[in-house]
């Protein structure tokens, strides 16, 4: 990876850039930076950012959680995005490594990832990082009012 690329955990000062990147990634209404700052303060979520020469060009999110069903804490990478112009430089893999290291520090020994079954680029990235396809099926339901 290029020496100009740096991956680190997000800080409150990254809220504006995270808002911009999340808009590019998820579309819809742009999340206000003040909401992102509040989330960073109170949430158990890990957020890693990648910079090239000080400009944030990507992010990844992960969760760790405990369940009575398992002795060890569980981990999941929930989001991963790198701007198109910054892709194919190892940034996504570096973000994954940063998240894994921080999950490991929380006692997590196994990490799950959910991605679209037709998202070939993401699947290849995760496989390059030694993730293995499973056989689970995702079912979803909206339970709003």
Map out the domains of the chain as residue ranges: 5-128
Average pLDDT over residues 45-72: 95
pLDDT band at 84 (very low <50, low <70, confident <90, very high): very high
Q: Identify the band that residue 142 occupies on the pLDDT scale cut at 50, 70 and 90.
A: confident
Q: How many CB atoms lie within 10 A of CB 137?
A: 5
Homologous superfamily (CATH) of 5-128 is: Gcn5-related N-acetyltransferase (GNAT) (3.40.630.30)
Residue 145 has pLDDT above 80, yes or no: no
Tell me the average pLDDT across 43-54.
93
- Residue 39 makes CB contacts below 8 A (sequence gap 6+) with 45
pLDDT band at 135 (very low <50, low <70, confident <90, very high): confident
- Answer yes or no: is pLDDT of 93 > 70: yes
**CA-CA distances (angstroms) from residue 101 to 61, 125, 133?**
13, 17, 21
Check residue 1 and give its pLDDT: 63
């Amino acid at each position: 990876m290029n020496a100009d690329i740096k991956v680190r955990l997000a800080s409150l000062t990254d809220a504006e850039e995270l808002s911009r990147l999340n808009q590019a990634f998820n579309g819809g209404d742009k999340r206000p930076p003040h909401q992102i700052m509040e989330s960073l303060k109170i949430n158990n979520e890990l957020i890693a950012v990648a910079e090239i020469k000080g400009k944030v060009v990507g992010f990844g999110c992960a969760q760790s959680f405990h369940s009575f069903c398992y002795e060890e804490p569980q981990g999941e990478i929930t989001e991963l995005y790198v701007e198109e112009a910054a892709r194919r430089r190892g940034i996504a893999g570096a973000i994954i490594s940063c998240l894994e290291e921080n999950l490991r520090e929380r006692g997590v020994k196994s990490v799950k990832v959910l991605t679209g079954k037709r998202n070939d680029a993401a699947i290849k990235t995760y496989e390059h990082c030694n993730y293995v396809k499973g056989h689970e099926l995702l079912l979803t339901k909206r339970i709003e009012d």
